[in-house]
Amino acid sequence: MQIKHLALAAAVAATSLAAQAQTEIQWWHSMTAVNNEWVNDLAKQFNESQKEYKVIPTFKGTYDESMTAAIAAFRSGNAPHVLQVFEVGTATMMASKGATVPVGKVMKDAGAAFDPSAYIPAVAAYYTDPNGQMLSFPFNSSTTIFYYNKDAFKKAGLNTDKAPATWPEVFEAAKKLKASGHSCPMTLAWMGWTQLESFSAWHNVEFATEKNGLSPNGYKARMKINSPLHVRHIDNLSQAAKAGEFVYKGRGSAAQASFTSGECAMIQTSSGFYGDVAKNAKFAYGLAPLPYYPDVKGAPQNTVIGGASLWVMAGKKPAEYKGVAKFFEFLSDTKVQAASHQRTGYLPITMGAYELTDKSGFYAKHPGTDTAVNQMVRKVTDNSRGIRLGNYVQIRTIEDEELEQVWAGKKTAKEALDSIVSRGNELLARFERSYKK
């Protein structure tokens, strides 16, 4: 009997030691609601797939809050192993010399399988430096798409099977929705991203010099979004706001809740909003490409990347980096990628995941869910590869501030866009000075 107790005690002790021997990987992220559930499920799946490492996901606030917290933690020696950074923070992370380790190096040092060419070109290119080294791991990459409420369209006498394809059609639909009694015909989320960045790429017009900051001299970039086309578009939205056909609902993703609730009938926002819509919308809805101005030569072109990537922070032990590499290997698995894409609406990241999703019949069963991929895989130009500017987190705030002045009727479109350019260029000049140090 005593031998049995000793054997049991030894087994318990061994199990305890094995648990203690697990290398913990801290992962800070900014995912909320259904996407927070997704992140937690990914960590759980990885942790259950092996016994050496334990990934611990922690929500650290909005994208800019988590990035600020991680940089402060790095300075005090308490940074996480993995940090989720939104795309507009990429140039800042690239300039934070010594704070991160390129994902390509992490994977190579760990002997982990990693093939940058497997990723959708537009995704891989955005997170790769001019020397060809991939700096961060593509994770929840998204792009901007158009969502509409089919029930509201039906009530307004609009075609429920075909979304408005052009901006004139969108404004006409908004008028009919308003006339049918809809209090919020159209709203927008992530204004700078949807109405300035994606708008520029979709119309193949310059957003900033130096190939939108993506050239080898990208740190010298200056903004160019006060062109006649930009002014015309923001002025059109201003007129719609005055007529009650466009209703501003707040910064960032704030407007999204007004779509899922049925209050607003049309919204332009992230493809990563799909999971929320699929779970919470109590009405028939459609997904479609962004609208464009048909008189602009070359439009539509392609949209730019949004969402975020995973950066590996510096100053960790080799064993911990090996765990990070194993986790990234897990996330790279085609089946894992495909399941994440189908669940969230984020891009499938790799062509393999896209092909698996296509073969499974998912796109046929859920029309419009391939919109994000189709918008991204077109041939890109220097105006549509993406936007990577220094201090861009702060510039996005300037864009919000100035556009809010337009919606409130306090500034004209030209005044606001001129101000965005001048204020933004001050920050870009400051970034250039710090970059050269």
One digit per residue, the tens of pLDDT, for the chain of length 437 reads 454 554 555 455 444 444 558 999 999 999 999 999 999 999 999 999 999 999 999 999 999 899 989 989 998 999 999 999 998 888 888 888 889 999 999 999 999 988 888 888 778 888 888 788 899 999 999 999 999 999 999 999 999 999 999 999 999 999 999 999 999 999 999 999 999 999 999 999 999 999 999 999 999 999 999 999 999 999 999 999 999 999 999 999 999 999 999 999 999 999 999 999 999 999 999 999 999 999 999 899 999 888 999 999 999 999 999 999 999 999 999 999 999 999 999 998 888 999 999 999 999 999 999 999 999 877 788 999 889 999 999 999 999 999 999 999 999 999 999 999 999 999 999 999 987 65
Residue type, 60: K
Those residues whose C-beta lies under 8 Å from the C-beta of residue 34, and which sit 6 or more positions away, are 275, 276, 279, 344
Are 266 and 186 in contact by the 8 Å Cβ rule? The answer is yes
205 DSSP β-pair partners: none
The rounded distance, in Å, linking the Cα atoms of 207 and 386 is 9
| Torsion from C-alpha of 82, 137, 61, 36, nearest 10 degrees | -100
Say how many Å lie between the first and final Cα of the chain, rounded: 73
User: Which spans in 243-317 are helix H?
Assistant: 256-260, 274-280
The single-letter DSSP state of residue 304 is P
